[in-house]
């Protein structure tokens, strides 16, 4: 058990962590961040879990970007410039940035440090917690044959629907082995509907382009620095400064979609290729998005929505049939690909809780379209709602 390393590459992470890290280095090099582990599913952790987690975490300090990995990034991600790749070349995880405690069956975890460094912890840590949890609670490893047949069955449904699908399942995967197996099938048999994976390491392994743009923390930090009302807009403008219209999908639900659309002005709506839906009723959201584009005299059929909220073939079928001939739909499928093995899926997150900007620590919040996905201190959520008149 102890010789086994769950994360064995610096790139075993979601693509948007690297694109955000690049932007943070360039725009907010001195900003600091605090993150917290949130056990939404109230899972109970076995004895010594924190100790074994710490051992895995310590091994991550040894990870370094390889020459081949750098060449891959240069080839597949031309918008990550050489100054950033030089930074990544020197980057190493520092386990001192992470504090883990176990009390009985509960785990607490806090991450703190420069935002440009700590931003990479969240996804691999969650992947480690997930895989360790299944290993230590005795979940049986499922046969390769079974995984292949489950994945092929889903792929058949998606092909029949003729929808574009991506794989977003790193953070809550059952195991690295199953993740790799699923991607192998998607790459081999998914053409032309499979558009890529958010996992940069596995994208490198299978020579495919990694996908993704930005996460909620990008906008949450902007709210701490510039205020809730304009956080969406400034976050998008800053993104354009760094990427000039590349990676142009805007995240729509950090402070609810109605606030997002107020910030998504004609210029931004024209330049960004589309929006990502991550919470709330997908059909209602689609109607609102189409209405928004039409109001600005932008043809919605030239735009896209990337749906990424807890998807499965049934939901994809329902959403895609509604979007047909109205707006382009793509689907980022997470644990339904990487953790559909007959065991309950973990419901865990690691979220930014504080940002150090303007010379002080400021609590950050996320006001999702659904209450259970909102995060932050109660008094800050109350304040944000008051300011935004939600």
Residues 245, 239: Cα–Cα separation, whole Å: 8
Residues 294, 69: Cα–Cα separation, whole Å: 43
What's residue 366's pLDDT? 94
Query: What does the pLDDT look like over 4-36, one tens digit per residue?
Result: 679 999 999 999 999 999 999 999 999 999 999
Mean pLDDT throughout 345-357?
95
First vs last Cα of the chain: how many Å apart? Answer: 49
Beta bridge partners of 184: none
Q: Around 150, how many Cα atoms within 13 Å sit in the side-chain half-sphere? A: 20
Q: Tokens 């950050």 identify what position?
A: 364
**Above pLDDT 70, what percent of the chain?**
99
Q: What are phi and psi of 101, to 5 degrees?
A: -130, 145
**Above pLDDT 90, what percent of the chain?**
94
Q: How confident is the model at residue 373 (pLDDT cuts 50, 70, 90)?
A: confident
What's residue 4's pLDDT? 60
Instruction: Copy the structure tokens of residue 351.
Output: 């979220």
What's residue 210's pLDDT? 98
Q: What is the DSSP string of 291-302?
A: HHHHHTT--GGG
Residues 194, 208: Cα–Cα separation, whole Å: 10
CA dihedral 157, 162, 164, 168 (to 10 degrees): 0
- In this structure, which long-range contacts are made by residues 188-193, counting pairs with CB atoms below 8 Å and at least 24 apart in sequence? 189/152, 189/155, 190/155, 190/159, 190/165, 193/158, 193/159, 193/162, 193/163, 193/164, 193/165
Query: What does the pLDDT look like over 288-338, one tens digit per residue?
Result: 999 999 999 999 999 999 999 999 999 999 999 999 999 999 999 999 999
What's residue 1's pLDDT? 43
Mean pLDDT throughout 116-131?
98
What's residue 32's pLDDT? 98
What's residue 2's pLDDT? 44
Beta bridge partners of 122: none
Whether residue 370 is predicted with pLDDT greater than 90 in this model: the reply is no
Q: What are phi and psi of 180, to 5 degrees?
A: -65, -40
Beta bridge partners of 356: 32, 361
Which residues, at least 6 apart from 348, have a Cβ–Cβ distance to it below 8 Å? 37, 38, 39, 40, 41, 43, 126, 129, 130, 172
Q: Where are the beta strands (DSSP E) in 104-230?
A: 106-114, 164-167, 194-197
Query: What does the pLDDT look like over 260-286, one tens digit per residue?
Result: 999 999 999 999 999 999 999 999 999
In the chain, what are the domains?
15-140+344-388 (3.20.140.10), 144-338 (3.20.140.10)
Residues 145, 106: Cα–Cα separation, whole Å: 35
Q: How confident is the model at residue 225 (pLDDT cuts 50, 70, 90)?
A: very high
- In this structure, which long-range contacts are made by residues 299-304, counting pairs with CB atoms below 8 Å and at least 24 apart in sequence? 300/326, 300/327, 301/325, 301/326, 301/327, 301/328, 303/273, 303/274, 303/275, 303/327, 303/328, 304/249, 304/273, 304/274, 304/275, 304/328, 304/329, 304/330
Whether residue 247 is predicted with pLDDT greater than 80 in this model: the reply is yes
Mean pLDDT throughout 188-206?
97
- Mean pLDDT, the chain, rounded, equals 96
């Amino acid at each position: 058990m102890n010789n086994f390393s769950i994360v064995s590459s610096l790139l075993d992470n979601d693509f948007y962590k690297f694109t955000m890290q690049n932007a943070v280095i360039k725009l907010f090099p001195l900003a600091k961040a605090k993150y917290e582990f949130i056990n939404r599913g109230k899972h109970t952790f076995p004895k010594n879990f924190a100790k074994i987690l710490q051992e895995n975490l310590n091994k991550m300090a040894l990870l370094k970007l390889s020459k081949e990995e750098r060449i891959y990034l240069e080839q597949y991600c031309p918008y990550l410039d050489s100054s950033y790749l030089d930074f990544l070349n020197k980057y190493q995880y520092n386990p001192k940035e992470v504090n883990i405690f176990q009390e009985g069956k509960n785990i607490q975890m806090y991450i703190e440090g420069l935002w440009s460094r700590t931003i990479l912890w969240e996804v691999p840590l969650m992947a480690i917690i997930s895989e360790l949890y299944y290993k230590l609670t005795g979940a049986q490893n499922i046969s390769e044959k079974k995984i292949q047949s489950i994945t092929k069955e889903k792929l058949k449904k998606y092909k029949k629907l003729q929808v574009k699908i991506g794989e977003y399942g790193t953070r809550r995967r059952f195991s690295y082995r199953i993740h790799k197996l699923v991607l192998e099938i998607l790459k081999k048999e998914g053409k032309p509907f499979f558009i890529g994976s958010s996992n940069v390491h596995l994208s490198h392994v299978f020579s495919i382009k990694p996908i993704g743009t930005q996460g909620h923390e990008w906008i949450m930090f902007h709210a701490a620095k510039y205020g809730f009302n304009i956080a969406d807009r400034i976050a998008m403008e800053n993104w354009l400064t760094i990427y000039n219209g590349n990676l142009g999908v805007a995240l729509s639900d950090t402070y609810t979609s109605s606030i997002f659309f107020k910030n998504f002005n004609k210029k931004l709506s024209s330049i960004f290729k589309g929006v990502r839906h991550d919470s709330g009723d997908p059909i209602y959201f689609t109607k609102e998005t189409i209405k928004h584009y039409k109001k600005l005299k932008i043809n919605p059929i030239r735009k896209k929505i990337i749906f990424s909220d807890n998807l499965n073939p049934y939901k994809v079928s329902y959403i895609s049939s509604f979007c047909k001939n109205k707006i382009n739909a793509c689907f980022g499928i997470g644990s339904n690909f990487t953790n559909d093995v007959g065991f309950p899926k973990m419901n865990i997150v690691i979220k930014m809780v504080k940002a150090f900007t303007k010379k002080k620590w400021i609590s950050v919040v996320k006001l999702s379209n659904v209450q259970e996905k909102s995060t932050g201190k109660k008094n800050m959520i109350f304040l944000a709602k008051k300011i935004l008149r939600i």
